[in-house]
Amino acid sequence: MVNSPTEKKKTRLKKLFYYSLFGKVSLITLLAIGYFTPVINCNNTQEKCDYSVCAIDDGMHINIVLPVSNNLVDWREFLNISAIGKDATDNYKYLTFGWGDRDFYIQTPTLAELNLITAVKALFLPTPSTILVQGLSELPQNRELKCVKVTKTDYLKLTQFIQNTFQFNSQNQPIRIANGHLSSSGFYAANGSYSILRTCNNWAAEALQKADVDTPLWAGLSSAVMLHFGRSCECSINERKSVLP
């Protein structure tokens, strides 16, 4: 007996439903595997782990935290620290760095201010990016914070990666483009284009990988980066613990 057009249509719809369901389940499975699978960044150097690198999760973005200066890098030679935010001060001990889509980052201080059109443009269209810098007088106690120790070589690779993210003017100075969400922060023009394949947290993971810090296979969510944030190989078990500088 030949199936009626109505029955054929029902059969096609069922197949479409099952294919769609299979695709969604497969995608969720792959993302879950990427979320929980660590990328162990390992080398056999004999250098000591003497330099602190921290990360803060603000709920949407991972911000990398570094001291304003140590015996390797003095950020005051790279940035006008007193002009980062509306606060005219250079009395900071730490700087935080976060990267993202320029419009989305500047216009969305919290999820409550999320604009769907801006978010879709950021994910699917090539748009300019920005790097947010904030000065801190002390490490925050009200946000998730993790710190590890890294080697001299790894620390320099990380800071070089961050510095290479900035765009520069004709005087070879970073280009400040807007005030940040806090009086101690500011936005700067950055290299690279934000997309669904390279998000703010992917950038943070790339930066941390330069310092041989463990990161997730899929770093789309800030919680994934914080879950795997840690050290391996050249550092002892004690040195792999999250130690405040």
SS3 of 78-130: CCCHHHCCCCCCCCCCEEEEEEEEHHHHHHCCCHHHCCHHHHHHHHHCCEEEE
207 Cβ neighbours under 8 A, 6+ residues apart: 64, 97, 158, 161, 162
Identify whether the C-beta of residue 103 lies closer than 8 Å to the C-beta of residue 189: no
β-bridge mates for residue 98, sequence order: 132
Is residue 160 assigned to a domain? yes
Does 245 reside within a domain? no
For residue 133, tell me if it sits in a domain. Answer: yes
pTM to 2 decimals?
0.82
Domain ranges, residue 162: 37-240
Quote the CA–CA distance of 197 and 240 in Å, as a whole number.
30
Residue 24 domain flag: no
* Domain membership flag for residue 222: yes
> What pLDDT shows up at residue 18?
54
Q: Indicate if the pLDDT at residue 218 is higher than 60.
A: yes
Q: What is the pLDDT of residues 23-59, one digit of tens each?
A: 556 556 665 566 666 777 666 567 888 899 999 998 8
From residue 85, alpha-carbon distances to 23, 135, 212 in Å are 46, 8, 31
Residue 161 pLDDT > 70: yes
Q: CB within 8 A of 56, min separation 6: which ones?
A: 62, 63, 65, 96, 140, 143, 144, 145
Q: Does 169 fall in a domain? A: yes
Any domain includes 17:
no
Does residue 107 contact residue 115 with C-beta atoms inside 8 Å?
A: yes
Residue 119 pLDDT > 90, yes or no? no
Residue 9 lies in a domain: no
Q: How many domains does the chain have?
A: 1
Mean pLDDT of 211-237: 78
